[in-house]
Structure 1
Amino acid sequence: MSKDSKNQGHEQNPGARKAGPGGGFGPMGMGMPVQKAKDFKGTLKRLVSYLKPYKLQLISVLITAIISTVFSIVSPKIMGNATTKLFEGLMMKINRVPGAKIDFDYIGQIIILLIGLYIISAIFAYLQGYIMAGVAQKTVYNLRKEVEGKINRLPLKYFDSRTHGEILSRAVNDVDNISTTLQQSLTQLITSVVTIIGVIIMMLSISPLMTLIVILTLPLSGVAIAKIAKKSQQFFKGQQKSLGQLNGHVEEMYTGHKVIKVFGHEQKSIEQFEEINEKLYQSGWKAQFVSGMIMPLMSFINNIGYVLISVVGGILVTKNAIKIGDIQAFIQYARQFSQPIAQTASIANVIQSTIASAERVFEILDETEEVPEAVAAEVITEPKGEVTFEHVAFGYKENEPLIDDMNIAVKPGQRVAIVGPTGAGKTTLINLLMRFYEIDSGTILIDGVDTREMKREHLRSLFGMVLQDTWLFNSTIRDNIAYGREGATEDEIVAAARAANADHFIRTLPDGYETILNEEASNISQGQKQLLTIARAILANPAILILDEATSSVDTRTEVQIQKAMDHLMKGRTSFVIAHRLSTIRDADLILVMNHGSVIEKGTHEELLEKDGFYADLYNSQFTSNQRNAG
């Protein structure tokens, strides 16, 4: 993958999670910059629509969350009764009240009740997590299927206008972000809201005055956290920027390792790394330190609240306004109260990031698709390979035509060479033939059938392609050749390899046809890669061939081998050869000379040289250049 692709993948989703103690960005999710959606409400509404089929399960999640939280909330109040009973028994003993004793039976019953409540709470929490996990995964499964289906229906121009990293980031990182939020943050949000409401009710039932003290500490916490978060956000932005630069630099240095060694730039590379690393260190430790102050500051403010609660509670106990066990319960509630508020703040950041991710995924789903397939599609059962362009016009952009009134007639079995300078429209011609792009007007016919009347899959099955840039995947050589035709037998695979002059070199490899090609297929040579792609095309047995001249980056001996394999492949088939070296196309039945999107000359090699036009100039200039280089 290119450096741009990888950096794009890294930087496209700055809202991707970085877990802190609060489960969000930095401590309590307050520090890290969060990617925001352009249309928060609209995207949220659309994302919620994906959850509609699971209404019953979501209602179940809500009910189990409420039951689990309620059982855990009432527990401190019941525990307070045990504390009060214990305190009363001790006080009666200290005051030597006749028959005074601690009622351990009552305390024991409360302990058993509490254990039961905590077990029930845990069971419902487990059920809540189990149901929500199923809902989240099913929802994201459907979303992934939708994205995959959409990507398969998008025209080639969509992929040509975007980096691989951006598309991968949307299809993988952003969907994962949605998945994690649905599974974790949504249940956390429900639990936090229920806890906040429940705790406030329980605190009010004990003492409205002490509840007011707890609530008054919240604005103080909010102001302090907002100021710290604003400051730390600047450092986090710097950290993300430096991290992207460092990733890009390391990848560039890794992929260009040999070039750096050859030109002696090792020291310069190290210095550059150290400079970026120093920036990352400075912004990183500042971001972590400043955002790390949030927790101690919140603890300090909360502790002031606990002191005030204890003082006021003590006064109320002396006046017999409340019981001592209620103070203990209240302090527990006060602790429970601050935690879900911090979690909610953290989840708010996460949800913003998730909605931004959802928006980016929906942008893919809303892209303009390929022209719909023909309803009553034509099928060519015995393709001959006749290709006709009739008055074809095309432009990549509106009002900027590239091809205008193109007319070509190719007979079955003809070898057609397409030549011309860079940007002449050679590759465009192939893209239109394969329906990677749709023509603006005119008709392209194969065996007299309009290509728009055929399904794309059927149309493309008529073609075989051997490109200058070889594409092989991480698997065995056998699998790479067999990719040409599903269900090919061992004998057919070997026969295709022999026809492509590839069998010999394959058998010299330690594992033969079982040799596994690595990710870049760099464990075999460029020429060997090309022979494998030719073997794959031979196995596919297409009616029409497209060859982007495959010999430009190999030695002379390998070129001869590849040329022989290509001659075997082209025998009896209509072939379109995009030629870079004009010396290789002398035997073509028809040469199309293209410039600025138009076919300006056509004929055989000899006919075009006799015309002494554009082709003759192109051919002679290349021949003269080669002679000069040889000299």
Structure 2
Amino acid sequence: MKSNNYKGKKAKFDKRTFKRLLKLIWENNRLTYSVVFLCIVLSTLIITISQAFIGTVLVNKYIDPYITEYKQNPNAIFDWKNFTFAMIFIGSLYVIGILANYIYSRLVVSITHKTIKKIRDDLYIHSQTLSLNFFDKNQKGDIISRFTNDIDSLREVLSQSIPQILNSIFQIIFSLVSMLILSWFLTIVMLILVFGMFLIAGQIAKKSGKYFISRQKSLGSLNGFINEMMDGVRVIKAYNHEKASLLNFKTKNDQMYNDDFKSKLIANILMPIMINMGTINFIVIAFTGGITLAYLGNNQSNALNVLSINLGVLVSFLLYARSFTNPISTVSQQANAIISGLAGAQRVFVILDEKPEEDNGTITLVKYEDLSKPALSKIDTKAAYYWQIPVKDDYIYQVAKGEFYFDNVSFGYNPEKLIIKDFTLRVPVGKKVALVGATGAGKTTIASLLNRFYETTKGTIYFDGIDIKQIKKADLRKAFGFVLQDTSLFSKNIKENIIYGLDEFASQEYEAAAKLANAHEFIEDMANGYETFLENSGENLSQGQKQLLSIARTAIINPLALILDEATSTIDTETERKIQEALDELLKNKSAFIIAHRLSTIKNCDIIVVMDQGQIIEQGSHKELLKNKKHYYKLYTGKIELE
């Protein structure tokens, strides 16, 4: 099982991740988020004005004077006319606030979906630029988890947490300023009480935060495991490995359960605690304000007259107290969502920060039919492909033939531990080279070096006399056709799989390719022919049929050279015959590198290279190697076996 290369990287709540996320949102939604910002400020300001209006106008100007007058004169008349106008005014403010909230809510939905889509697009686009080494070192399921679970964890942060926190900040600021204006004494009492709320909320958020981070990692690990088990279900059943697989699953699932349970358990007790503490704060402020009003009131002669308040002030202050403590509870609750979302964001950013595959090549591969008239005038010999080599402000064109030379090549994932050592080999144009050796001898690594999936540690590989590091990777890989044992087909129809990678094609081309690959007959026998949809990446085809389609896909691009990796090792004799016939046709006049364990499939190769522990121990034709009676002879006669 592949390790999760990034699991050990410590994910923590830090300002850099949060700032990066905010920057990403802002850069792509400047105008929209500006409107959201204004709507939040407007709705918060309206609430603040309304709360002041209730106490200082409705209570002080209409209700309190009427009550005072009514005590002295039961026939006192209430000023309904002006009171009604005041109510209409405050009602109008609330309507404007509701409209502002509606607009802001709709815009936040738009921003969220747009941002999530962009992050997922950026992640996929960037992942396509990464080297094969990245995918070799990381679990497929864990990478998929970053596209799904980790990005989805940001949805709540973008749609709820950030807007609510922004809204809460303005409520806290406006309420605090208003409370200070009304009564600095009660404001100090409130701040002392709120400080206690912050201490408790901070401890709970800190404790639950580490479990939210662990939960994201556990989920990625679990997804990676499930993905591997689904891919290898046949092997599991063939080796009766179900029980061991179940035990491994239970271990990972239990870890996921524990992290998820602990994070939610701690997080879910936060809101009730904050609500109850907010209620206690309100009661304390109401009690303190009531005492102050009862004993001091509007008495200006008292030495403590600076603390005096009236009924309207107390009413407005209590409303502000609610507006001050409720946002604090909201911020505390959203802190957990932000920690969870940022844990996912960090895992996404780790991939986005991964350096793209380096490519300093400048030479490109061009087809004859794609050359311009000025380019054609520089060509002496007509060929299918040419190397377009930049020289100063112009290009020269060299015929692409398919000649290779490995000059003392060495390679290791760790430079201190080489798995290919001093590999030297010349492959003339149109020759077939077979790479033979036990598992781990380095055969497939040679193919990977040819395509620059990995760069050589030492030495040089030449393609038509050109150092392959001078050729753009996309053009280098375009020169090769691949027929692999583990054929990768896609959930598309057969025609789309054959033409995969082609921008332009004609119907006769994919049919001709299928006929060359001996695939046309079985395709025509299918209900929908070339339009037949391949379910689950070709599960409705046999292994042999998949390989025939792979040959057809290679044939249609007419590559300069071929790489055949274990192309006939898992199929029946009749299908192998069809594949061999197709390959013989495909290989005509092309250079090829053939990797196979079954020596019967490579005895007609021009050059057979026997490898052991990354080194060439023997090379020559089939007859020459048998005559030498060394390692290859022992392999062929069965005196030793390939592992």
TM > 0.5 fold call: yes
Aligned pair partner of 1:581 in 598, 606, 611:
598
The alignment partner of 2:444 has SS state of: helix
**Greater CA drift, 337-346 or 603-612:** 337-346
Does residue 200 of structure 1 match 2:187? no
Does residue 72 of structure 1 match 2:72? no
Aligned pair partner of 1:467 in 475, 479, 484:
484
Does residue 336 of structure 1 match 2:323? yes
Return the alpha-carbon distance in structure 2 between the equivalents of residues 577 and 423 of structure 1: 16
Q: CA RMSD in A?
A: 4.2
In structure 1, what is the equivalent of residue 301 of structure 2?
none
Consecutive unaligned residues of structure 2, counting only runs of 5 or more, are: 299-307, 367-384, 387-398
The alignment partner of 2:638 has SS state of: helix
Cα offsets for 1:265-284 (capped at 9, x unmatched)? 98999999899989988887
Return the alpha-carbon distance in structure 1 between the equivalents of residues 224 and 408 of structure 2: 47
In structure 1, what is the equivalent of residue 63 of structure 2?
87
In structure 2, what is the equivalent of residue 298 of structure 1?
274
**Greater CA drift, 73-82 or 354-363:** 354-363
In structure 2, what is the equivalent of residue 161 of structure 1?
137
Offset, 1:536? 0.7
Return the alpha-carbon distance in structure 2 between the equivalents of residues 594 and 468 of structure 1: 20
**RCO greater where, 1 or 2, for CA within 8 Å and sep 6 or more?**
1
Return the alpha-carbon distance in structure 2 between the equivalents of residues 519 and 177 of structure 1: 28
> Is contact 1:374–1:455 with CA below 8 Å preserved after alignment?
yes
In structure 1, what is the equivalent of residue 287 of structure 2?
311
Does residue 455 of structure 1 match 2:472? yes
Of all paired residues, the percent bearing the same amino acid is 38
Alpha carbons of 1:297 and 1:452: their partners in 2 closer, same or farther (altered >3 Å)?
Answer: closer
Does residue 209 of structure 1 match 2:207? no
Return the alpha-carbon distance in structure 2 between the equivalents of residues 90 and 291 of structure 1: 49
Return the alpha-carbon distance in structure 1 between the equivalents of residues 453 and 625 of structure 2: 31
Consecutive unaligned residues of structure 1, counting only runs of 5 or more, are: 15-33, 627-631
Return the alpha-carbon distance in structure 2 between the equivalents of residues 310 and 210 of structure 1: 10
Aligned pair partner of 2:526 in 476, 493, 509:
509
Return the alpha-carbon distance in structure 2 between the equivalents of residues 359 and 234 of structure 1: 14
Return the alpha-carbon distance in structure 2 between the equivalents of residues 441 and 241 of structure 1: 37
Alpha carbons of 1:554 and 1:291: their partners in 2 closer, same or farther (altered >3 Å)?
Answer: same
Alpha carbons of 1:239 and 1:356: their partners in 2 closer, same or farther (altered >3 Å)?
Answer: closer
Does residue 613 of structure 1 match 2:630? yes
> Is contact 1:484–1:536 with CA below 8 Å preserved after alignment?
no
Return the alpha-carbon distance in structure 1 between the equivalents of residues 25 and 360 of structure 2: 31
Alpha carbons of 1:236 and 1:577: their partners in 2 closer, same or farther (altered >3 Å)?
Answer: closer
Return the alpha-carbon distance in structure 2 between the equivalents of residues 357 and 284 of structure 1: 14
The alignment partner of 1:332 has SS state of: helix
Alpha carbons of 1:465 and 1:50: their partners in 2 closer, same or farther (altered >3 Å)?
Answer: same
> Is contact 1:79–1:110 with CA below 8 Å preserved after alignment?
no
Return the alpha-carbon distance in structure 2 between the equivalents of residues 254 and 377 of structure 1: 40
Return the alpha-carbon distance in structure 2 between the equivalents of residues 249 and 144 of structure 1: 22
Alpha carbons of 1:176 and 1:538: their partners in 2 closer, same or farther (altered >3 Å)?
Answer: same
Alpha carbons of 1:163 and 1:490: their partners in 2 closer, same or farther (altered >3 Å)?
Answer: same
Cα offsets for 1:319-367 (capped at 9, x unmatched)? 3454434433333222221222123334444555555555544544544
Offset, 1:309? 2.7
Return the alpha-carbon distance in structure 2 between the equivalents of residues 477 and 578 of structure 1: 26
Return the alpha-carbon distance in structure 2 between the equivalents of residues 438 and 62 of structure 1: 50
Q: What one-letter code is carried by the residue in structure 1 that aligns with 2:424? A: N
Cα offsets for 1:449-486 (capped at 9, x unmatched)? 33222222222111100111110111111111111533
Return the alpha-carbon distance in structure 2 between the equivalents of residues 358 and 251 of structure 1: 22
Q: What one-letter code is carried by the residue in structure 1 that aligns with 2:511? A: V
Q: What one-letter code is carried by the residue in structure 1 that aligns with 2:510? A: I
Offset, 1:448? 2.8
The alignment partner of 1:432 has SS state of: helix
Offset, 1:384? 2.4
The alignment partner of 1:95 has SS state of: helix
User: Between Structure 1 and Structure 2, how many residues are aligned?
Assistant: 600
Alignment of 1:143-542 (within 5 A): 147-148=123-124, 150-170=126-146, 174=150, 181=157, 184-225=160-201, 288=264, 291-318=267-294, 319-320=297-298, 321-352=308-339, 357-375=344-362, 380-381=385-386, 382-483=399-500, 485-542=502-559
> Is contact 1:392–1:407 with CA below 8 Å preserved after alignment?
yes
Return the alpha-carbon distance in structure 1 between the equivalents of residues 47 and 642 of structure 2: 85
Task: Report the TM-score, using the length of structure 1 for normalisation.
Answer: 0.81
The alignment partner of 1:385 has SS state of: coil
Return the alpha-carbon distance in structure 2 between the equivalents of residues 358 and 322 of structure 1: 49
Return the alpha-carbon distance in structure 2 between the equivalents of residues 572 and 419 of structure 1: 22
Return the alpha-carbon distance in structure 1 between the equivalents of residues 245 and 412 of structure 2: 44
Q: What one-letter code is carried by the residue in structure 2 that aligns with 1:372? A: D
Alpha carbons of 1:539 and 1:402: their partners in 2 closer, same or farther (altered >3 Å)?
Answer: same
